[in-house]
Amino acid sequence: MTPLRLVTATCAALLVLAFAGGPRWGLAAVCLAALVAVGELWLRALTGEAIPPLTRVGLATVAGLVSLPFLAIVLHVSGIPIAARWVAIGLAVLSGVLGAVVLFRERCGPSPADPRLPATVGAVAIPALLALVAGFGALQAYERLPHPPQPGYTSLALNGWATGIAGPVAIPARGVHVPVRVSSAGRPAATVPLRVRVGARLVSGRPLTVEPGVVRSVDVFVPAPPDGCLHRIEISLGATSTVFYGRGPAAC
C-alpha cells in the first residue's frame, strides 16, 4: 500500500474512533488496526527496509502501542485533556507527519529526486501542522474567554427504600412515609412549598427551606388513596416533582 493510501486509511479509522459510536468490540478492532497502521508508518519512516511479514506485524504493533504514551505526554505538556477524541486526533496528526517522512525517504532514494517532492510533502505536512496549531490555539482561546455561569437547579428525587419503586405501591390505611432527596446549586437559599397530590387532589403542603450545596433527606407523608384503584401520586417542590403510582387498601 502506498504511503498516501496508508495515511488516508489510518486517518479514516481514527476519525471513526474519535467521532463515531458503536459496539465496543467493533471499536476495539478499529483501534487495533489503526495502531498497527501507525506502527507501519513508523517502520517505513525509520528503516524503510524489507522485514519478514510476521516480524513486521509484531514490530508495527509494538511501535503503534508505544505511540500512545508518547502522545499522552505531548497532550499533557500542551495542556490538552487526555481523552479518546484528542488521542485519536493526535494520532491522525502523527500519521500525517510520518507519511510525509516516508514520502521523503522514497523520493530521495537511489534514484534522482522527484521535482514534485516538495509539493507532495507540503500537501501532507502543512495541513497536519495547521490543524494542530489551529486546534491548540482554539482550545487555549476558548479557555481564556469569559464563560457564563452554569444555570442553577433544584432537584427532588425519591430516596432510601423509595428508590426501589418499580411499580404501583400498596399503601396501608395508615399511610406511608416516603423519603425524598432534595438538593440545589447555583441558586440562593429559598423557602419552597413541598406538596403531595393523590390524583388531582392536594392532600398536604408545607414550606421547605432549600439551601445551595446542601443535600437533605426529607420524609413526606402520603395518605392512603381512597380505594384500591391505581392513583397517581405526585410529590412536588416548587416546579420540580417526582411521581409514582399507588393503591389504597379498600376495594376498587
Percentage of the chain modeled with pLDDT above 90? 29
Q: What per-residue confidence (pLDDT) applies to 82? A: 76
Q: Picking from 45-49, 162-166, 223-227, which range would have the lowest pLDDT averaged per residue? A: 45-49
pLDDT tens-digit series, residues 145-166: 776 766 788 899 999 999 999 8
Percentage of the chain modeled with pLDDT above 70? 81
pLDDT tops 70 at residue 110: no
DSSP string, 21-60: ---HHHHHHHHHHHHHHHHHHHHHHHT-----HHHHHHHH
Query: Can you tell me the distance from the alpha carbon of 71 to that of 35, in angstroms, rounded to the nearest whole number?
Result: 12
Query: Can you tell me the distance from the alpha carbon of 233 to that of 222, in angstroms, rounded to the nearest whole number?
Result: 8
Q: What per-residue confidence (pLDDT) applies to 76? A: 76
List, in order, residues 6 or more apart from 43 with CB less than 8 Å away.
Answer: 51, 56, 59, 60, 63
Domains along the chain? Answer: 3-144 (no CATH), 153-247 (2.60.40.10)
Q: Which amino acid is at 168?
A: P
Helices (H) and strands (E) in the chain, counts: 5, 8
Query: Can you tell me the distance from the alpha carbon of 202 to that of 224, in angstroms, rounded to the nearest whole number?
Result: 13
pLDDT tops 90 at residue 16: no
First to last CA, the chain: 76
Inter-CA distances, 230 with 80, 168, 200, 215, 226, Å: 54, 7, 13, 32, 10
Enumerate the β-bridge partners of residue 241.
236
pLDDT tops 80 at residue 174: yes
Beta strands in 143-189 (DSSP E): 153-158, 169-170, 176-185
Owner of C-alpha cell 411521581: 243
Cα 186 to the center of its chain, rounded Å: 24
Q: What per-residue confidence (pLDDT) applies to 192? A: 92
Q: What per-residue confidence (pLDDT) applies to 111? A: 44
> How many residues are listed for the chain in this entry?
252
In terms of pLDDT, which residue wins out, 145 or 172?
172
pLDDT tens-digit series, residues 80-96: 877 778 888 888 888 88
